[in-house]
Amino acid sequence: MDKLKTGIIAPPGLPAMPARWFDRKGLVQIGLLALLLLAPLAAYLLGHIYYINLASRITVIAMAAVGLNLAIGYGGMVSFGHAAYFGLGGYVAGISAYHAFDFTPFMSWPVAIPGSDSMLVIWLAAILLCGLLALAIGAISLRTTGVYFIMITLAFAQMMYYFANSWPSYGGEDGLPIYLRNTLPLVDTNQPLVFFLICFAGLLLSMAITSRLMKSRFGAALTMARLNDTRLATAGISPYPIRLMAFVISAMITGLAGALYADLNGFISPTMLSWHFSGELMVIVILGGVGRLYGPLAGAILFVMMETLLGGLTEYWKLFLGLMLLCVVLFAKHGVMGWLAGRERNE
Amino acid sequence: MLTVTNIETFYGPSQALFGVNLAVEAGELVALMGRNGMGKTTTIRSIFGLTPARSGSIEFEAKDLRRLPAYRIAQAGLGLVPEGRRCFPNLSVRENLVVTSGPGYWSLARVEELFPRLAERRYQMASTLSGGEQQMLAIGRALMTNPRLLVLDEATEGLAPVIRREIWSAIRLLKEQGQSTLIVDKSLSELLPIADRCTILEKGRTVWNGQPDALDDAIRDRYLGV
């Protein structure tokens, strides 16, 4: 068979060409990454720790939105329940740290599972658990489409929210503090700049995974499933498992972001699971540009900066966010990235 | 190979097919004919399970296709080139072809050999192709699944004469290679010389079935309006 069958099939050719660093799109993308990387470095040199943490917050939220963008933008699955994975990732980090701090086991029967304060263990657990949860939720939800899919994903996330709210062992609605930030070998995660760099690496990795996935045969099939699933089916490929796989990967990325978010704030609470957060992630994806690789990053920068700058001036900053969203939906359908970098081949 | 017996198909409450009979034997090229609105496309949609038939039977190589989802029908060995130029506009030519590839004779190289224009435009977005090239791409995409029965619905409709000729010569080439084909098309002058059998639909029923030589003027006038 053709050796291209499973490998990268996006061409070095004309319109599908990846961004070169010196064209408009490439410059915008590099600019966004440089902004995100250099701002906290400058803040470090000037000694403003607050701004380093702000950059970490942008990075982690962007990463969660990268996950959601894979579902909404590339897969056409409008999930209104990605807070479930974000929150689950956060709770994995929080609960694990809680037991490690207490020297109590998370579970002693049938198998003993101790808590752990190692980020590597926590990340792995968060990714696996989010993948399993998304497999179950996706397997059911993906039998529906349109507004039913939106509602059913929302319903599952709300179930998680109320469950966490009423589970007193882990703080219930008060949440659970993480007294000591979880650790990584060789580096001091308590250093804000180090933690930022960890988050930044996570964001880059999740974007690289998305990009590579969408250039593969799988990505082309996912695009086909989004555009016209009967046309894909008449070629002998069932759209369902392809969507489900993309949904699971999307949840894993958002879940990992949730674990980082818990460590960033040193605190978890059911708010991470609430539908408000699902909505915010959607707003970020739409603001940045649906189905654009750098859209979630652009959206997260805009969202968090508005929240910080306008939120400092007025309690009603979301009014301005709403107006901006309205403008994007009405006048710039491809979001900030579409406006800054021009249209992309899949638009 | 494919035997469609007495199928009845509905769009909601309105009945579109009232008993279509159709058969394609291995290696045959069968023409499905009839005026507009007589049920040709609906018959094809029923075969592929897109608008499932409510009664009758559809068998392919002794396998019952009714009630199977579309992708299983395609996996059973049927390849569809749908009406209109149905490729995926936002994917490159190569992506359009490679995604549906299955094991067998047809590979990217062979499709590009059949339609050299596609080889030239390998990396272009399908949306930038001309109508004829998109049609070639749709045929290529169906061939990539290595179907034992290829179904072409109006593959040459609305295309420039020069492109039509290219597509017809590709269809003739496929027939010489022994590809079983079910084809809906209005250009009788191209279709009849290569068809092994013709089936004519009128108001959702099979009204005539026979060899193209037997298709005399009376039948043409009555059912095809030419």
CATH number at A99 reads 1.10.3470
Taking an 8 Å cut-off on Cβ atoms, the answer to whether B107 and A2 are in contact is: yes
Taking an 8 Å cut-off on Cβ atoms, the answer to whether A236 and B71 are in contact is: yes
Collect all residues of chain B within an 8 Å Cβ-Cβ radius of residue A74: none
The answer as to whether A112 is a domain residue is yes
Note the pLDDT of residue B216: 85
State which fold the B1-76+192-225 domain adopts. Answer: Rossmann fold (3.40.50)
Residue B65: exposed, middle, or buried by beta-carbon count in 10 A (0-12, 13-18, 19+)?
buried
Note the pLDDT of residue A21: 64
Scanning every residue of chain A, which has its alpha carbon at the shortest distance from the alpha carbon of B104? A1
Note the pLDDT of residue B217: 85
For residue A252, which of A163, A133, A142 has the smallest C-alpha distance? Answer: A133
| Dihedral sign from CA coordinates of A254, A259, A260, A263 | positive
Q: Which two tokens stand for residue A20?
A: 């070169």
Distance from CA of B98 to the nearest CA of A (A): 6
How many folded domains does chain A comprise? 1
The answer as to whether A18 is a domain residue is no
Q: At what angle do helices A275-288 and A83-102 cross, to 10 degrees?
A: 120
Distance from CA of A222 to the nearest CA of B (A): 10
| Range(s) of the domain holding residue A165 | 24-341
Angle at A183 between CA A121 and CA A89, to 5 degrees: 50
The answer as to whether A2 is a domain residue is no
pLDDT, tens digit (0-9, with 9 covering 90-100), for A81-115: 999 999 999 999 999 999 999 888 888 878 888 88
Scanning every residue of chain A, which has its alpha carbon at the shortest distance from the alpha carbon of B100? A235
Taking an 8 Å cut-off on Cβ atoms, the answer to whether B98 and A217 are in contact is: yes
Name the B residues in 41-60 with CB < 8 Å from any A CB.
48, 50
Bridge partners, B78 (sequence order): B149
Alpha helices by DSSP H, listed for chain A, are 24-46, 49-69, 83-102, 119-141, 146-165, 192-215, 217-227, 229-233, 239-265, 275-288, 295-313, 317-331, 335-341
Bridge partners, B208 (sequence order): B200
Question: For each successive 10 residues of chain A (347 residues), what is the average pLDDT?
Answer: 40 46 85 95 94 97 98 96 97 95 85 90 97 98 95 97 93 92 93 96 97 93 92 92 97 98 96 96 95 96 93 89 89 86 68
Pairing type for strands B2-11 and B180-184 reads: unpaired
**DSSP 3-state assignment of B3?**
strand
Name the B residues in 165-224 with CB < 8 Å from any A CB.
none
What is the Cα–Cα distance from B217 to B214, expressed in whole angstroms? 9
Scanning every residue of chain A, which has its alpha carbon at the shortest distance from the alpha carbon of B106? A1
Q: Which two tokens stand for residue A45?
A: 């040199």
The answer as to whether A72 is a domain residue is yes
Per-residue pLDDT of chain B (226 residues; tens, 9 = 90+): 999 999 999 999 999 999 999 999 999 999 999 998 999 999 999 999 999 999 999 999 999 999 899 999 999 999 999 988 778 888 999 999 998 888 899 999 999 999 999 999 999 999 899 999 999 999 999 999 999 999 999 988 889 999 999 999 999 999 999 999 999 998 888 999 999 999 999 999 999 999 999 888 888 888 887 5
The answer as to whether A260 is a domain residue is yes
What is the Cα–Cα distance from A325 to B138, expressed in whole angstroms? 38
Cis peptide before B13 (omega within 30 of 0): no
Distance from CA of B68 to the nearest CA of A (A): 11
The answer as to whether A4 is a domain residue is no
**In whole angstroms, how large is the CA radius of gyration of chain B?**
17
Note the pLDDT of residue A4: 37
Q: Which of A16, A232, A234 sits opposite B92 (nearest CB)?
A: A16
| Dihedral sign from CA coordinates of B20, B25, B26, B31 | negative
Residue A22: exposed, middle, or buried by beta-carbon count in 10 A (0-12, 13-18, 19+)?
exposed
